[in-house]
Amino acid sequence: MRLSLLATGVYLTLSAGPEPAFAQVGRTVNYDRPHSTLTIGFREWLSQGRSAHNIAGPGHAPNVLSELTWRGLNAPVHILSVDFVTPFRPRTGSFVLNAALGGGVHSNGTLLDQDWIGNNRTGKIAETFSEQDGGHVFFISVDTGWRPIQWKPPFYSGGSLPLVGAVDLLIGFQYWKEQYQAFGVQDQLPPIGTPVPTSVKAITQTNEWYNVRLGSRITVPLHERVALTGSAFYLPYTLHQNEDVHHLRSDLQQDPSFLTKASGGNGVQLEAGLQVRAWKGLTLEAGYMYWDVRSGTGTVEAFGTTGMGSEPHNEENTRRQGLYFGLSWALGDQ
């Protein structure tokens, strides 16, 4: 009897006092009360790249003198992201800040090096083939903006951190770098010379892109735990720099052999995916990403061992696309 009265007294005391810590930990987010979210994510982008670099002859004669085309640049790109959204209010919306950092190493690829003496790629005088090995991909981007629209997911049951519907308008900046390394040289046109073995490095090319990004992203919940996602960015302006080192040419310097600078290009960066809230703040995702950027025209400086020269640069076009898989953890204002 005494033990029963003691247990009853303890229960009444806890009920009348502050909420226990374990109850606070289990509290769910009230959708109807504005709250901030911080989401930390990781993606594995199974990407394949392609890049083409072409220049004109002196005085644009011919209009395409030489072109380096890199294909099959497979690279698993590891991406870490941080996303912060302030409390949403119907009149003012939310402030959005996103940052992403990614990198990876090319597992394979090829280089096709072609030269012409006539306009519009006529009068081909040289064509060689090389294997690509050991290049890499790196990028960092920061976007900020405004969320003017947010809505409750269908079938919302009051659970913690639902996948809400939202539209974000964003502006940002991206630095994107890719390096390619060609090994060996095989002639594809007669006269066929002695091939250079694939153990010998022939060319190293490094592309750097400085991109302005304008775009939006959208989340369309199908359920409080399942949502379709997408984003579309237009790159209205890019600065591009390209460094080439031709390791087998004794008439050229080696650091670098050619330096290209161009501005005024543009591009697009698109993605679409599916998210599933697996447990509390843990979300799994899968989708497809496509990046395509083109430089404007510019100038190529050639660094010879006996002097320097310059030629017109036509265009650099770099693309990367592929499936991605990822997970993220969302922290909400409790």
What does the pLDDT read at residue 300? Answer: 96
The one-letter amino acid at 196:
V
Mean pLDDT of all residues in 94-116: 96
Tokens standing for 325? Answer: 């898989």
Instruction: Delineate the domains of the chain, giving CATH numbers in brackets.
Output: 37-332 (2.40.128.90)
List b or e across 156-178, with b for residues whose CB sees 16 or more CB atoms inside 10 angstroms: eeeebbbbbbbbbebebebebbb
Cβ atoms of 301 and 8 within 8 Å: the answer is no
pLDDT tens digits along 265-316:
999 999 999 999 999 899 999 999 999 999 999 999 999 999 999 999 999 9
Query: Within 127-171, where are the H helices?
Result: none
pLDDT tens digits along 146-205:
999 999 999 888 777 789 999 999 999 999 999 999 999 999 999 888 999 999 999 999
Using alpha carbons, select from 79, 77, 80 the residue that is nearest to residue 46. Answer: 77
Query: What residues are paired with 181 via a beta bridge?
Result: 204
- Residue 120: how many CA atoms within 13 Å on its side-chain side? 0
| Dihedral pair phi/psi, residue 236, rounded to 5° | -75, -15
